[in-house]
Amino acid sequence: MSCNCAQCLQNARTLGLTDGAASKEAIHKAYRDAAKQWHPDRFEGDPGQLPEAEEHFKQVQIAYRALAEHIKHPAELAPETIFTKPGPAAPVSFGSVPGCYTAPNFPAHVERIIEDHLAADQTALAIVDLSRMGSPAGDFSQFILLAGHAALVRDAVGIVSILWYTDLGEIKMIDQRRHGNLGLWQRLLERISGTQQKYSLQIYRRSGALFYSITGQTDDSAKRVIYNFLLRKKYQAHP
């Protein structure tokens, strides 16, 4: 890995490495060692240490995923300035759509989520709760976080994935009601959640690989805001 940016160095230290440009094998070994050291199962008999272990374990996972992304896409990495000198924030507004918040108006529980997933020198611009299916108030167990340098997604199984805007590829709003048809599952989600589910938002990497698809997790108007925001970020990264 040929990256020694501030973010990679910080992630390397989280895994117990002293070099942000460590090899893939060294990173994987450090991750296994750190995950084993801080796995919450090891602290079941010590409740006082369990919260600290859970936090360390979470940070180890985030650091490993970030370093792994830099290895997979070495030619498309954000330069160090993207973390230390973020440009002007693109305006974001979701109106009154439930579960959608923008800076600086983040509630306290949302601030805690952001602090868990972003370094102190990174800027959060907006977050959308994707755990609202069938519930009037989601718990942010799933979300998309739009930061100044990248988009982060936490999925249904708790895995956090990172997409640097320099690696942002095609962004599509797909009409699910082609020829007036909507799948049974989509119709059921729409009925349960009370949200408009005409479109699916599909976000791709520059390699063509699908990064994430937002279908029934939030209202179409929120998908449109995310779509427009990501388009601006894409053209800023690749003018």
Lowest mean pLDDT among 115-119, 193-197, 200-204: 193-197
Mean pLDDT of 152-174: 89
CATH number assigned to the domain comprising residue 170: 2.30.29.30
**Per-residue pLDDT, 203:** 94
Q: For residue 180, what pLDDT band results from cuts at 50, 70 and 90?
A: very low
Domains in the chain, number: 2
Whether this model's pTM surpasses 0.85: no
Mean pLDDT, range 120-141, rounded to an integer? 78
Q: Are residues 104 and 123 in the same domain?
A: yes
Highest mean pLDDT among 36-45, 123-132, 190-199: 123-132
User: Which residues does 219 contact at the CB level (< 8 Å), separation at least 6?
Assistant: 97, 98, 195, 196
What pLDDT does 81 receive? 32
User: 185 in a domain, yes or no?
Assistant: yes
The proportion of the chain whose per-residue pLDDT surpasses 70, expressed as a percent, equals 72
pLDDT value for 88? 43
Collect all residues with Cβ–Cβ distance below 8 Å to 65 and sequence separation of at least 6: 159, 160, 161, 162
Answer yes or no: do 107 and 167 share one domain.
Answer: yes
112 lies in a domain?
Answer: yes
Whether residue 88 is found in the same domain as residue 67: no
pLDDT for 59-116, tens place per residue? 888 778 777 766 654 433 333 333 333 344 445 788 888 889 998 889 898 999 999 8
Per-residue confidence (pLDDT) for residue 143, from 0 to 100: 94
Residue 1 placed within a domain: no
Which pLDDT value is given to residue 17? 79
Flag whether 207 is in a domain: yes
Whichever domain contains 18, its CATH number is: 1.10.287.110
Same domain, 191 and 168: yes
* Of the residues 40, 72, 104, the one at which a domain ends: 72
CA distance 226 to 125: 11
Looking at the fold, whether 39 and 103 belong to one and the same domain comes out as no
- CA dist 234 to 102, 155, 164, 192, 237, Å? 20, 22, 10, 34, 5
Among candidate residues 51, 72, 93, the one where a domain is terminated: 72
Q: How many CB atoms within 10 Å of residue 116?
A: 13
Range of the domain at 10: 6-72
Task: Tell me, yes or no, whether 93 and 171 share the same domain.
Answer: yes
